[in-house]
Amino acid sequence: MGRSRRFRDCLTAAVLLLWCGCAPRLRPLPGVAAPARLPAGALPPDSRRIVFRWELDDQELSARGEGAARIAPPDSVRLDFFLAGGVASGAAILIDDELRLPRRGDELARRLIPPPPLLWGALGRLAVPALRDTVARVDSDTLRADIGNPVTWRVTFVRDTLRRIERVDGGRVVEWVARAAGGPVRYRHEINRRQLDLFITRTDDVSAFDPDVWVLP
């Protein structure tokens, strides 16, 4: 029993060391204290179709391809991914906080799709779970806020535009999404060392989507 307990303790310590080595600590909020009132972080009012290129890099796979997002405000999006060379594809639907994947295994989509709050963040919508104790600080035109106690989310707005969402666990940034002005959208999981970059090539306004868009096989 003593050996088993020591083994578990050593394993736990090793996991904690690995966690600490991979996930950066959350730095203190810069700037001056501000009221904890965040911009709406809502989707634009019109339906859109966004076409993009994507590049994935993690410990097991590096891949690239093309994709499209069909966005129906206020809270619905369908994502389709196509692997370069046409050998595989994936799809996912997110309605509010409900993520739907095909009934049969879709490994491409499972690798590419971040959790719902971060996926919404990649599209510019603030949709983190409601938590108490929000602390905000302003630095020039940038508003940052820590949500939860202990901090579970950090969000960054430049003026009224959502630029970054970070998921925090144990005082460390586990995964995040960043939306650079005029640049790519990047999702990174620090523990898994998974990084996904989206390069938007076209945005089209549409009147409506066919109902079949919201059905997966």
Q: Is 8 a member of any domain?
A: no
Domain hosting 113: range is 27-214
Task: Tell me: pLDDT of 183 over 60.
Answer: yes
Q: Is 51 a member of any domain?
A: yes
For 111-155, what is each residue's pLDDT tens digit?
788 999 999 999 999 999 988 899 999 999 999 999 999 999 999
Q: Is 21 a member of any domain?
A: no
Q: Is 187 a member of any domain?
A: yes
For 7-42, what is each residue's pLDDT tens digit?
444 443 334 444 445 799 999 999 999 998 999 999
Q: What is the tally of structural domains in the chain?
A: 1
Distance CA 55, CA 144 (A): 28
Q: Is 55 a member of any domain?
A: yes
Written as one string, the DSSP assignment of 149-160 is: TTT-EEEEEETT
Which CATH number belongs to the domain containing residue 92 in this structure? Answer: 2.50.20
Distance CA 10, CA 8 (A): 5
Distance CA 120, CA 177 (A): 10
Q: Is 7 a member of any domain?
A: no
Q: Is 17 a member of any domain?
A: no
For 36-59, what is each residue's pLDDT tens digit?
899 999 999 999 999 999 999 988
Q: Is 86 a member of any domain?
A: yes
Predicted confidence at residue 13, as pLDDT, reads: 37
- CA distances from residue 216 to 65, 104, 195, 204 in whole angstroms, order as listed: 21, 10, 26, 23
